[in-house]
Structure 1
Amino acid sequence: MKGLLIAEKPSLMRDIQKVYKKMQLPFEIDFTSFVGHVVELKEPHEYKSEWKKWDLNVLPMIPERYEFRVKKSAYKVYKEIEQILKTNRYDFIINACDAGMEGENIFYSFYKRAGCKLPVKRFWTSQTTDGAISKALLNLIDEQDLLIRNLRNAAMYRSIFDWLIGLNLTRAATVKGGRIIKIGRVMTPTLAIVVKRELEILQFKPEPYFQIELDLGQFKAMWFNPETNENKLKNLEEARAVISRIGQGAVVRDIKTERKTISAPPLHSLLELQKEANKFFGFTSSETLKIAQSLYEKKLITYPRTESKHLPTAFAQNIRENLQSLATLEEYGSTVQNLISRPDNIQKTIRSKKYVDDKKLTDHHAITVTEVAIGRKKLSPQESKIYHLIARRLLAIFMPAYVIDKTAVVLQSNDVFFKANGNMVIEKGYTVLYDAFKKKQETPLPTLQVNMELPIRDAKILSKMTEPPARYTDSTLLDAMFHAGRFIEDKELQKVLKDAEGIGTSATRAEIIEKLISIGMIAREGKSFKATQFGIDVIQSIGKHDIVSPELTAIWSKKLKDIVDGQLSSSQFYKEMLTYVKQTTDGFICLDMSVAEKQVVVVGKCLKCGQPVVEGFKGYTCSNKACKFFISKMIMKGKITPTDAKKLLTGKETREIRFTWKSGKKGKAKLKLVNEKLEFVFSAPTKQTKG
């Protein structure tokens, strides 16, 4: 028996191959790999010639049969694997794409396009350590396994649904609006969230208010109304009237101390890792995902594209190996030895449903470090930061809780009341790992007793203005997408959204945000997102149409999950999907789309004809339609920014850009235009023409 193993990426293929060579299996394996997606659903005109024209009369476009085409960027890889399959040397294929819905989509879209009939076995693991790979090779799953089959169907229908919604509604909106208006199942509700906040900010009218601060020497207290608990006064006259009633001293009327015991937070899902990296380091969600993927490929962390914050019991029972991998790092050595010397404490954590729960696992478990130590592996500063966030979170769950006494004191001066709060740390517990990130220390109140009288040093009026809601950051927008139930009132649908884990997935949310930026619907301002006038116009033109609602996309995500769980048949899903697509497209055709005209961004002069080169959706193109000059925005996964394009057009070199070579390896190089052709410029004197 002989099988052909197809991995999703060359790096994973090499890892599996290395382990396989040390094993004795009852069958032989040859190896090859994709480079991510190698095929995609065909464009409308490839089904029917009349669908090439953007015409409302042909909508909705619904193919009788969905077919795939080879992606231009992956043509060579596709043909190589196709030729290998045509040799007829294999009895079965091993699908070694990532263990999840998207991995199924990548493999089976190729499998269908290639017309392959060989039986398939599934290589399934969320880790790339030698032990995990060996276990997966020994326990290959049959393609007819119910969970795998359902996952495959859900993956296929998700891509078809996105095709139908995206292409039909984008065309309807574009024809009605007079410029390209991208519409998406998850993208448009995400835009609506940002637009709603932007409109709240634009419509916000700041109002003055006043507070009264009492200086009691060792601490300060704020005025409050004991009947309403309000601590703000609307006008200066009221504040002055309160000040006039304050005496020379204040008497302690009430003291309440509450002890809070706070356990370490759960382990990271990708969402939680992205939020924490944005909070501590300002990393964007897409940057964090890219860094985590690199650490995964280096075998230092488990699979990063996960929604889960829990570990499976079987994995947790061997967690000492993962902890031990951190022992060689100077900052964790003593902590690890202390934890490992207390096995009872480790078992107590493993029994805690907060951290270990088989019932709360998704396709993959929480992100954590593997048993592979960093050793001599070279990490970039960014990789090191992300790795240490993940390491700290793992160590934290085995450490003591953070214990703090929160004290609230009520004071009275004549008939005026004040409130002061203080916190005293009793046990730092796991928070010692995060001392470097603390911006301020907890401040305790001095020892006080009821009826104690304190002299007042000063009482002053603080003049303030109400502030608009804050714009979304990567952290808060990701959180809003995950907790999209906050945006609807229906309790039952809130639960649907919660079960569906919001809009988008851990693997797609960052990509959706970046796409909204690239098409000009939202923009980054520092660490925040701002809706552009174009984005605002799109959402206001669509109005209350359900495509802008988080509830709609979450319901469809729930239906996909029901397919995976065997609670909904694929045929029933497709029937409901077609009904929705037809109704929604008809609704869009009736819309009045009124959007801002597209701003033309000129990046320089064309080297061929001298006409302006302008920024487009996919690249920088000459404004002279007869001229074919073009610079792509994406070259070998390296992003070419408008600044890069400007430098190229003036004969200068770009900044260093990170590229992914055909072998799967990554490297940095600059770009330069030489005789209208792009060349790589490496730090070494050697030059290589882009081929």
Structure 2
Amino acid sequence: MKKALLIAEKPSLMRDIQKVYKTMKLPYEIHFASFVGHVVELKEPHEYKAEWKKWDLNILPMIPERYEFRVKKSAYKVYKEIEQQLKANQYEFIINACDAGMEGENIFYSFYKRVGCKLPVKRFWTSQTTDSAIRDALSNLIDENDLLIRNLRNAAMYRSVFDWLIGLNLTRAATVKGGRIIKIGRVMTPTLAIVVKRELEIQQFKPEPYFQFEIDLGHFKALWFDLKTNDNKIKTLQIAQQIQSQIGNTAIVHDVKTERKIMHAPSLHSLLELQKEANKFFGFTSSETLKIAQSLYEKKLITYPRTESKHLPTSLAKNIDANIQSLGTLSEYQDVVQNILNNKKQIANVIHSKKYVDDKKLTDHHAITITEVPLGNKKLSPGEFKIYHLIARRLLSIFMPPYVIDKTAVVLKAASHFFKANGHVVADKGYTVLYELFKKKQEQPLPPLQVNMELPIHTTQVLSKKTEPPIRYTDSTLLDAMFHAGRFVEDKELQRILKDAEGIGTSATRAEIIEKLISIGMITREGKSFKATQFGIDVIISLKNHDIVSPVLTAVWSKKLKDIVDGHISSSQFYSEMLQYVKESTGRFIALDMEVAEKQEVIVGKCIVCGHVVVEGFKGYTCSNKACKFFISKSIMKGKITTTDAKKLLSGRETREIRFTWKSGKKGKAKLKLVGENIEFVFSNKSKT
């Protein structure tokens, strides 16, 4: 019997496939192995040429003759184990079981090239990790020469090469010109520019006073407005007081309009929409939501989360009853599920609705939804519980009646002045009954009103106000700005390209980009908001009008990558255009005059070894005495050590509880403390794993 080696992207998926495989009879025998995400990466410049180790403008741009990979230090053991497995067995082919998408192709084929493998490859492709989906994928492996798979693989490789060329060449140029480490990236820099633009608007904002005038009619209040301009702002206190002096004791209803609004449930979740909703309701960061969604996917409870799509394919929608039924065991959804399953006509209507089901609007993957696997007795963390139920509610809502309200707008006249008030009455709560816990204070309904009705004015009030500066970005609004980056360009054609390319970054990388900007000190979190640092502001100002600052650059090249996937341009054409751009762009970058303030050293305490001050560095907290080797890393077992944590350690105190990932893959929380020169974990009973 033929033998194949299946390589999964993560151990959890490998185990899931193994379990299903044991129940099947296939015409070949499968052996199993697993990566731990990326196990290789593109080499650093000096590994190609010794002279590229110098940070010298004269050697730029650095363009290797061929691109080579090196084994990541953190994944060396995994790499060697799979390499030995390939050498020790006579396999007829390999099965690529990495995540079904561009990044999964990159993870597999970068290893495949580095290890020098020549065996044929079959593709295991599924957006779900349920037993039935795995069984179907194993039974229908895709050949590596399938046009879509081949194009996706080429696009994945060229995307990583392009990012290498842009990132390393422009980072070198910026660092030499700016006199300190300045990281530049195809997506990272335009994202920084979005935050900096908002920060400069806030800094340059000058509040202007204005006034409003309000009358209280007992059951509701109404605000003065200019009937011609519809503006409710009054320029001076004198004018507001003059209006107040002219108002008598009654107001007459001048006009009443009531309009019925019918609002259907929103589309299903893409990762972007899930991240925005989780940030709005729970304050989760974009990276937190992605990690939680990935965990739910690995537990078979939701479909593949790294998706840009908000639609389901027809094939899945036709069997959606099973997904809905899986929620029927949860008490909060029992009645809703039963009503949906009893209404076959409504299910059919949704399946035929382009708002929710559209094969033409699918990307690599369909929208995120729950699977047919019931929650049962699975143990979820509080975060997993919240995200699972957000996805569950969104699925159920599309099969429920719309939210219907009657909106009323009334215009009143007092003396020669006009006032406006709004209110609404809920005619049908529809799908919003699922969101009662999240509802904020509702707008109050207006009492029954008719034209020419006379109403007594109880009190009047002049309101003193000031114009407000723009609001800083949150995770939700920054992700939205990255997706709708076309708003930041004026050219209509470029706006169209950005829309087609779905903004800058991808659903899988946007959260990572934001966290990287924080880690290198270009933006900071203040509560739920992002603020550009002076360093970040200096970088963007110094880059002037270089196109690395604009979202257009990444959109244009993302469009070209998509053209590779769709077969509209060849890989060789893309590479030729890419090299020409890198050469021109690097030349323009070198010509810039960069003025970036020197980094101010952040002192976190005294060294426990030699007594010198310990300062914050890029990767950790280092003793300022170069002869001393004392060092605290900013990242320990994937746990982030902040400046506050470092200060506590050096002062002899314990840190806050930090979330760590042990070598076994298990996660847990612990505090840290310094014992001599060594860092030790301090567990509470609840934190042990």
TM-score normalized with structure 2 length: 0.97
Contact kept, 8 Å, 1:7 with 1:33, in 2: the verdict is yes
Provide the C-alpha distance between the structure 2 equivalents of 1:242 and 1:671, rounded to a whole number of angstroms: 65
Matched with 1:111 is: 112
Matched with 1:353 is: 354
Contact kept, 8 Å, 2:292 with 2:384, in 1: the verdict is yes
Provide the C-alpha distance between the structure 2 equivalents of 1:243 and 1:636, rounded to a whole number of angstroms: 66
Contact kept, 8 Å, 1:473 with 1:529, in 2: the verdict is yes
Instruction: Say yes or no: does 1:460 pair with 2:461.
Output: yes
Matched with 1:555 is: 556
Identity %: 81
1:656 is displaced (CA, Å) by 3.8
Provide the C-alpha distance between the structure 2 equivalents of 1:539 and 1:7, rounded to a whole number of angstroms: 41
Aligned CA-pair RMSD: 1.7
- Kindly provide the amino acid, as one letter, of the partner of residue 415 in structure 1: S
2:568 counterpart SS class:
coil
After TM superposition, the runs of 4+ consecutive aligned structure 1 residues lying more than 6 A away are 684-688
1:617 counterpart SS class:
coil
- 1:444-483 CA distance string (max 9 Å, x none): 1111111111121122211100000101011000000000
Distance change >3 Å, CA 114–CA 592, structure 1 → 2: same
- 1:3-39 CA distance string (max 9 Å, x none): 1010001111111111111111111101110000000
- Kindly provide the amino acid, as one letter, of the partner of residue 27 in structure 1: Y
Contact kept, 8 Å, 1:128 with 1:297, in 2: the verdict is yes
1:679 is displaced (CA, Å) by 4.4
1:529 is displaced (CA, Å) by 0.6
2:548 counterpart SS class:
helix
Provide the C-alpha distance between the structure 2 equivalents of 1:24 and 1:558, rounded to a whole number of angstroms: 43
2:185 counterpart SS class:
coil
Matched with 1:289 is: 290
- 1:54-109 CA distance string (max 9 Å, x none): 11111111111100000011111111111111114211111111111110010000
1:654 is displaced (CA, Å) by 3.9
TM-score normalized with structure 1 length: 0.97
2:169 counterpart SS class:
helix
* Bigger mean CA offset, 651-660 vs 106-115: 651-660
Matched with 2:443 is: 442
Instruction: Say yes or no: does 1:124 pair with 2:125.
Output: yes
Matched with 2:636 is: 635
Matched with 1:572 is: 573
Matched with 2:94 is: 93
1:687 is displaced (CA, Å) by 11
Matched with 1:69 is: 70
Matched with 2:315 is: 314
1:493 is displaced (CA, Å) by 0.9
1:670 is displaced (CA, Å) by 4.2
1:367 counterpart SS class:
coil
Figure out how many residues of one structure are paired with residues of the other and give that number: 688
- Kindly provide the amino acid, as one letter, of the partner of residue 405 in structure 1: D
- Kindly provide the amino acid, as one letter, of the partner of residue 630 in structure 2: F
Provide the C-alpha distance between the structure 2 equivalents of 1:404 and 1:652, rounded to a whole number of angstroms: 57
Contact kept, 8 Å, 1:11 with 1:664, in 2: the verdict is no
Instruction: Say yes or no: does 1:544 pair with 2:533.
Output: no
- 1:586-620 CA distance string (max 9 Å, x none): 11111111112212122333344333332222222
Matched with 2:480 is: 479
Contact kept, 8 Å, 1:405 with 1:423, in 2: the verdict is yes
- 1:248-293 CA distance string (max 9 Å, x none): 2111121111111000000111111111111111111111111111
Contact kept, 8 Å, 1:35 with 1:664, in 2: the verdict is no
Distance change >3 Å, CA 188–CA 686, structure 1 → 2: closer
Instruction: Say yes or no: does 1:388 pair with 2:393.
Output: no
Residues 209-224 of structure 1: matches in 2 within 5 Å? Answer: 209-224=210-225
1:642 is displaced (CA, Å) by 2.5
- What are structure 2's unaligned runs of at least 5 residues? none
1:162 is displaced (CA, Å) by 0.6
Matched with 1:245 is: 246
1:564 is displaced (CA, Å) by 0.6
- Kindly provide the amino acid, as one letter, of the partner of residue 290 in structure 2: L
2:265 counterpart SS class:
coil
1:669 is displaced (CA, Å) by 4.0
- What are structure 1's unaligned runs of at least 5 residues? none
Contact kept, 8 Å, 2:670 with 2:687, in 1: the verdict is no
Contact kept, 8 Å, 1:97 with 1:104, in 2: the verdict is yes
Matched with 1:407 is: 408
Provide the C-alpha distance between the structure 1 equivalents of 2:119 and 2:104, rounded to a whole number of angstroms: 18
Matched with 2:188 is: 187
Contact kept, 8 Å, 1:659 with 1:669, in 2: the verdict is yes
- 1:306-361 CA distance string (max 9 Å, x none): 11111111111111111111111111111111111111111111111111111111
Instruction: Say yes or no: does 1:373 pair with 2:385.
Output: no
Provide the C-alpha distance between the structure 1 equivalents of 2:514 and 2:258, rounded to a whole number of angstroms: 44
Matched with 2:301 is: 300
Distance change >3 Å, CA 189–CA 685, structure 1 → 2: closer
Contact kept, 8 Å, 1:680 with 1:687, in 2: the verdict is no
Provide the C-alpha distance between the structure 1 equivalents of 2:353 and 2:687, rounded to a whole number of angstroms: 57
Provide the C-alpha distance between the structure 2 equivalents of 1:114 and 1:330, rounded to a whole number of angstroms: 52
Provide the C-alpha distance between the structure 1 equivalents of 2:648 and 2:242, rounded to a whole number of angstroms: 64
1:321 counterpart SS class:
helix
Matched with 2:154 is: 153
1:548 counterpart SS class:
coil
Matched with 1:254 is: 255
1:674 is displaced (CA, Å) by 4.7
- 1:393-439 CA distance string (max 9 Å, x none): 11111100000111111111221111111111100000011111111
* Bigger mean CA offset, 246-255 vs 610-619: 610-619
- Kindly provide the amino acid, as one letter, of the partner of residue 295 in structure 1: L
- Kindly provide the amino acid, as one letter, of the partner of residue 563 in structure 1: I
Contact kept, 8 Å, 1:274 with 1:285, in 2: the verdict is yes
Contact kept, 8 Å, 1:9 with 1:664, in 2: the verdict is no
